[in-house]
Chains A and B, each alone.
Chain A
Amino acid sequence: MANFIDRRLNSKNKSTVNRQRFLRRYKNQIKKSVSDAIEQRGVTDISSGENIVIPKKDLSEPIFHQGSGGIRDKVHPGNDKFSTGDRIAKPPKGQGQGSGQGDASDSGEGEDEFSFSISKEEYLNLLFEDLELPNLEKNQLDKLIEYKTVRSGFCSEGVASNIDIVKSLQGSIARRIAMTSSKRKQLKEYQEALTALNQDKHDHLSEERELKKKIIELENKIAKVPFIDTFDLRFRNFAKQAVPTSKAVMFCLMDVSGSMDQATKEMAKRFYILLYLFLSRTYKNIDVVYIRHHTQAKEVDEHEFFYSQETGGTIASSALELMNNIINERYNDNQWNIYGAQASDGDNWADDSPHCKSLLEKQILPKTRYFSYIEITQRAHQTLWQQYQQVKETHSNFVTAHIKEVSDIYPVFRELFKKNTKNAA
C-alpha cells in the first residue's frame, strides 16, 4: 500500500528561481536598501551578504476581503466569567479589533517590514548594476601585465637541455621505417625466393649463392641507416604569455584637518567603498593603505582614518610624499596595480599646491594605474583644484571630481569611470 522514496539527495533549491523572481520584482526597493547599507560597512568588508528591508505594504498581494464594521458573531473558548447578556465595553477606537477575520491569519507575524538576506554576489551585482559597472570592467582590464613562460609545442632547433627524448625517438623510428621500407620489401622477396629454391628437389647452387649475396648486401644497407640523426631531434618550445597580475593596492588619502567634518568624511568613505568594491571585482588581492594628513601625513588603520578628530592646517603634499615613499618601499610598480584616491574639502596651503602638482606628475602618476581626486565642498574651488585641473589635462590616468552632497557620489563615481573607458578605448 505504500512506497517509500528517499528524496533527500534531490536538489533542494527548487525555490531558487522563485527567489530570483522576487528579487527581480523588488529590485528598486532592494537597491535602495543596499545603498543605505553601504554606510554601515567597513571599506574592505565585502565578504558578507546584506540584510535587506522592504516595507511590507509594498509587497502586498491584494485580494477582496471584508472590511470593518457590520454585525459580527464570534464564538470563543474558555469562558471563565461571562453570563448571557453581559455587556463589555469595546476598546476605544483606533486600537482596532485585531486584523479582522478576513484571512484566518495565515501567518502569525505582523511585522511592518519584510527583511531578508541576500548573498554577497547578489549584493555586489545590485550595487554595480546601479553604477553600470559591469561594462566598465571590461575596459578596465588595462592592468599591469606580467609575463609567464608556458610550453608551446615542439620545434626542431634549440638547446640540448630542451631535447624531448620521446618526441625525438619517435621521429627516429619514423625516419628509419621510411628509409628502409623498400629495402626490406626486397629482402623479404629474396628470402622467399631462397626458401622456395631450398625446397626444390633439384639443386640451384649458383642461384642460391647469388641470392645469399644479395641478401647480405641488403642487410648491410639496412644496418647502415643511422639510429638517430640531427633531423630527428625535437626540442621543447617555450613561449611568453602575458598574465595580468591580480595584486592591487589602493591608497586612500584624506584631509583630516579641522575643516573636514564627519559628514564630509562619510561621503569620502562611501567613495572609497565603491572604489574598493569595484577593484575587488577585478583583482584577487587588494591592499588598502590609509593615509590621512593635516600638515603632516600618517599611515593609519581604517577606524582611525575615518573617525579620529584632528585640527590644524593643511599641507596636501605631505600625503602624496608619504604615498610615494610607501610605493617605493613596499609596492613595486612592476608587480602591483596601484590606485590612488584622494579626498579633500579643497583647503590647502596655497604655496603647497604647485608642489602637489609636480609630485603627482613626476613621481606618482607614472607609477599608478589611476588616481582620482574628489573634492567635497560647497564652496568655490581653491588652488589645489586649479593645479589639479592642469594635471588632468595632460594625464589620462588622473581624474578630478566635485561632490557637493551624498547623492552626487554615485553619478560622480560613474562619471569617473566612464571617462576612463573613453581614454582606454
Chain B
Amino acid sequence: MVTTSKKKTNKVTPLDDCPDWTFELLEQYQTEIARVAEHYRIDTYTNQIEVITAEQMMDAYAGVGMPIGYNHWTFGKKFIQTEQTYKRGQMGLAYEIVINSSPCISYLMEENTMPMQALVMAHACYGHNSFFKGNYLFKSWTDASSIIDYLLFAKNYIAKCELKYGIDEVEATLDACHALMNHGVDRYKRPQKISLDEELKRQTERAEYLQSQVNTLWRTVPKNNESKNEKQFRFPSEPQENILYFIEKNAPLLKSWQREIVRIVRKISQYFYPQKQTQVMNEGWACFWHYTILNHLYDEGLVTDKFMLEFLHSHTNVVAQQEYNSKYYSGINPYALGFNMFIDIRRICENPTEEDKEYFPDIAGSNWLDTLHFAMENFKDESFISQYLSPKLIRDFKLFHIHDDGESDYVEIGAIHNEQGYKKIRLNLAEQYNLSNLEVNIQIVDANIEGDRSLTLRYTPHNNIELGDSKDEVLKHLHYLWQFDVKIIQEKKNGKDEIIAQCPEKKPEV
C-alpha cells in the first residue's frame, strides 16, 4: 500500500492535520472529499453526518443498524453484550455506522481523530452511500427515502400494541417472527415500495379486510371433517419460500395486529436482504474510495504526510487478511477481498498483462472508472467474484480450495493458486457467497385447509447438509403463529419423505 505519487504542488496550503477535530475542520474536509468524489462521478444521496459519543454508538449497535428500532429484549441483550465486551476492552467500536436511507445517515464517533473522521467520511458518506444509491439490488429492493418513516411507523405501532395487548403477547409474536426473519424475504419477486402515508392508510383497511377474508375462508370448512378423501387441490398451489408472508396472509387464527407485526418484521428483513448479499462489494467499494479519494487529496497537497501515515495505518488494519494458519484467522475478510478486487479491476484496466487480456478481454485496457461503476452497479458478491476475481489476486491471496465430501475421513485440496486451479477457486469462492447455499432452503409445501389445518414445510438440503438442531425450537415459534400442527419433511435417500421435526411433538407414525 504505497501512495501513488510523490510530487507535490507548493501552491496549496494543506488542511490542518491536528488530531483534534472541530466542526469547521469537518466541513473543510467534507467539502474537499465531496469535490474529489464528484470528480470520480460518485453519485450519492444527501449526507446527514451525525457526531455521536461512544455510548450512543453502543445504542446504535444494539439497534442492528436501524436508527429507530421498536422495543424488544433481543436488542437489550445485544446492548448488554456490546457494553460488556467494550468495557472489558475486548472489542473496539466501529468507527462509523451508515444507514441506507435518504438522506443517508452516517454516525461518526466523537473519539475519532481528524484523520479518522476524514477516512470515515470518505468511506461511509461517499463509498457506502453511493453503493446504496447505485447498486441494482438496493435500487430494486429497498426504498431509501421511506425507510425512516417506516421504522417510525413500526416502532409506534408496536408500542401501541404493547399498550393494548400486553408486552408478553407482543414479545411472543416478535420472538416468533424473528425466528423466521430469514424466511420473510421474497428472493425473486420484487417488493413494492413503501411509504409512511400509504402504510398508515392501508394498514387499517388491510387489517380488517384480511381478518374478514381469513374468517370466511375458514368458515367454509366444515368442522370435525375428518374425511380421508384424496385432496382435491393443493394449497398453496406452489411451494412458498416466504414463510412470513404466507403466515401473514393465511394463518387462520392470527389477530390482525399480529399480522401487522409479522408484516413489519418481514419488511425489515427484506430491507436488510441486499446488505447480506453485497458485503464484499459494499465494503470493497467503500474501502477503494476512501483510499483513492484520500490519496487524491494527498497528491493535490491538501493533506500532510502526518495525516497520511495515520490514515494508512488504519487503512491497512482494515484491509488486512489473516492467513489460514494464523490464530486470528476467521475466514476471508470481506474488506480485504473487496478492496483488492476493486484495486485489481483498476489495474487490469490501466496496466493489463497478457494474462489479464486472456481472462478479461472485455475490460483489459478499458476506462477504469466506467468499468468500476459498471461493476458496482450490476453485481452482487457471488456474481461479482465469479466475474472479476483475477488469477493475479488468487496468487496474491494464495487461495486454495478444500473439498470435504462428508463421509471420508480426510479432506482433499481441490485446487491451489495455479493455472489449473484458477477457475475452480473462482467458482468455489463465488459459491461461498451464494446466499441460497448458505441459508436453509425450506419452503411451505402444503397447508391442509380441508383437514386438520396442519402446515407442512419441506427442507431441501444443499450438498446433503442436514438441518441444524435448532429446528425444533424454530418450529415451536412457527406453531405459535400458525396455531395448528406444523411439520418439516425431507426426502431421504430412498426417495421417501420423512418427518424430521414437528410441533407439537408426536410419536412418529408408522
B406 within 8 A of A: yes
Q: How far is the CA of A208 from the CA of B196 in the complex (A)?
A: 90
A residues 294-324 touching B (CB-CB < 8 Å): none
B74 touching A61, Cβ below 8 Å: yes
Q: Are B80 and A62 in contact (CB under 8 A)?
A: no
Contact B466 A67 (CB under 8 A): yes
Are B410 and A90 in contact, with the CB atoms below 8 A? yes
- Convert A1-29 into 0s and 1s, putting 1 for each residue whose CB lies closer than 8 angstroms to a CB of B: 11111111010111101111111110000
Q: Interface-forming stretch among A34-42, A72-80, A124-132?
A: A72-80
From B77, B406, B409, contact of A22 by CB (8 A)? B77
Contact of A65 among B413, B418, B463, B470 (CB under 8 A): B470
Bitwise, A105-134 to B at CB < 8 A (1) or not (0) is: 101110000111100000000000000000
Considering the complex, give the chain A residue whose CB is closest to the CB of B80. A116
Of residues 190 through 224 on chain B, the ones whose CB sits less than 8 Å from some CB of chain A are: none
**A71 contacts the other chain (Cβ, under 8 Å)?**
yes
Tell me whether B416 and A82 are in contact (CB under 8 A).
Answer: yes
* Beta-carbon nearest neighbor of B400 in chain A: A79
Decide yes or no whether B397 CB sits under 8 A from chain A: yes
A85 and B55 in contact (CB under 8 A), knowing A20-B76, A21-B71? no
Give every chain A residue within 8 A of B48 (Cβ-Cβ). Answer: 2-3, 5
B interface: dominant SS: mixed
Do the beta carbons of B73 and A21 come within 8 Å of each other? yes
Decide yes or no whether A160 CB sits under 8 A from chain B.
no
Q: Are A3 and B438 in contact (CB under 8 A)?
A: no
Interface centre among A24, A76, A102 (most CB of B within 10 A): A76
Measured CB to CB, the closest approach of chain B to A17, in angstroms, equals 5
Residues of B contacting A60 in the complex (Cβ-Cβ under 8 angstroms): 470, 473
Cβ of B142 under 8 Å from chain A: no
Contact of A108 among B23, B107, B330, B428 (CB under 8 A): B330
Cβ B323 vs Cβ A80 within 8 A: yes
Residues of chain A contacted by B182 (CB below 8 angstroms): 63-64
Determine whether A68 belongs to the interface, using a CB cutoff of 8 Å to chain B: yes
B497 within 8 A of A: no
Least distance between B403 CB and chain A CB atoms (Å): 5
Instruction: Give CA–CA (A64, B416) in the complex, Å.
Output: 33
A10–B467 Cα gap in the complex (Å)? 45
Q: Are B52 and A66 in contact (CB under 8 A)?
A: no
Taking a contact as CB atoms under 8 Å apart, the answer to whether B432 and A75 are in contact is yes
- Say which residue of B49, B58, B399 sits within 8 Å of A75 (CB atoms): B399
Question: What is the size, in residues, of chain B's interface with A at 8 Å between Cβ atoms?
Answer: 102
**Segment at the interface with A among B8-16, B26-34, B445-453:** B26-34
Q: Tell me the smallest distance from the CB of A126 to a CB of chain B, in Å.
A: 15
* Contact between chains at B50 and A7 (CB < 8 Å): yes
Q: Which of B30, B401, B431 is close to A2, meaning CB atoms less than 8 Å apart?
A: B30
Tell whether B321 is near chain A: CB-to-CB under 8 Å: yes
Give the number of chain A interface residues (Cβ < 8 Å): 65
In the complex, which residues of chain B have a beta carbon less than 8 angstroms from the beta carbon of A71?
A: 403-406, 463-465
Chain A residues whose CB sits within 8 angstroms of the CB of B402 once the complex forms: 73-76, 88
A153 at the interface (CB under 8 A from B): no
Contacts known (A17-B71, A74-B401, A75-B399); A66 close to B103, Cβ less than 8 A? no
- Per DSSP, chain A at the interface is loop
Contact A66 B72 (CB under 8 A): no
Inter-chain contacts of A179 with B (CB < 8 A): none
- Give min CB distance, A191 to chain B, whole Å: 74
Verify A66–B467 contact, CB threshold 8 A.
yes
A18 partner residues in chain B, CB cutoff 8 A? 62, 69, 71-73, 75-76, 79
| Closest-CB distance, B438 to chain A (whole angstroms) | 7
Chain A's closest residue to B35 (CB) is: A1
Are A101 and B438 also in contact (CB < 8 A) when A3-B49, A61-B74, A80-B325 are?
yes
A7-B50, A63-B181, A71-B405 as given contacts; A77 in contact with B399, CB under 8 Å: yes
Which listed residue, B27, B56, B413, B465, touches A84 by the CB 8 Å rule? B413
For chain B residues 23-67, which have a beta carbon within 8 Å of chain A?
23, 26-27, 30, 34, 44, 46-53, 55-56, 58-59, 62-63
- Nearest neighbor of B477 in chain A, beta-carbon distance: A62
Please state if B413 and A85 are interface contacts (CB–CB under 8 Å).
Answer: yes
Whether B409 lies near A90 (C-beta < 8 A) is yes
A-contact bits for B457-492, CB 8 A (1 contact / 0 none): 000011111111111011001000000000000000
A8 to B85, CA, bound (A): 22
In contact, B411 and A88 (Cβ under 8 angstroms): yes
Contact with A along B329-351 (1 / 0, CB 8 A): 11110000000000000000000
Q: Which residues of A contact B74 (CB under 8 A)?
A: 22, 61
A20 to chain B: closest CB distance in Å? 7
Residue in B53, B62, B399, B464 whose CB lies within 8 Å of A76: B399
Q: Which residues of A contact B418 (CB under 8 A)?
A: 84
Chain A residues with Cβ under 8 A from B149's Cβ?
none
Which residues of the other chain, B, contact A7 by a CB distance below 8 angstroms? 50-52, 56, 107
Given known A2-B125, A8-B52, A115-B84, contact A80–B463 (CB-CB < 8 A): no
A70 touches B461 (CB 8 A): yes
- Minimum CB distance partner of B279 in chain A: A104
Is B179 an interface residue, CB under 8 A from the partner? Answer: yes
Q: Does A86 contact B (CB under 8 A)?
A: yes
In the complex, whether A89 has a CB less than 8 A from a CB of chain B is yes
Is B76 within 8 A of A70, CB to CB? no
Q: Is residue A141 within 8 Å, beta carbon to beta carbon, of the partner chain? A: no
Least Cβ–Cβ distance between A422 and chain B, in angstroms = 33
| A80 touching B473 in the complex, CB below 8 Å, given contacts A2-B34, A8-B56, A74-B432 | no
- A90: B residues at CB distance < 8 A: 404, 409-411
A59 CB-CB contact with B under 8 Å = yes
| Chain A: CB-nearest residue to B45 | A1
A307 to B400, CA, bound (A): 63
Given contacts A5-B50, A109-B85, 7 further A-B pairs with CB under 8 A are A2-B47, A19-B80, A61-B74, A67-B466, A79-B416, A80-B323, A80-B325
13 CB contacts below 8 A, A to B, read A1-B34, A3-B103, A4-B50, A6-B51, A8-B51, A17-B76, A61-B178, A66-B438, A66-B467, A79-B398, A84-B418, A87-B413, A88-B411
Task: State the A residues within 8 Å of B (CB).
Answer: 1-8, 10, 12-15, 17-25, 59-80, 82-90, 100-102, 104-105, 107-109, 114-117
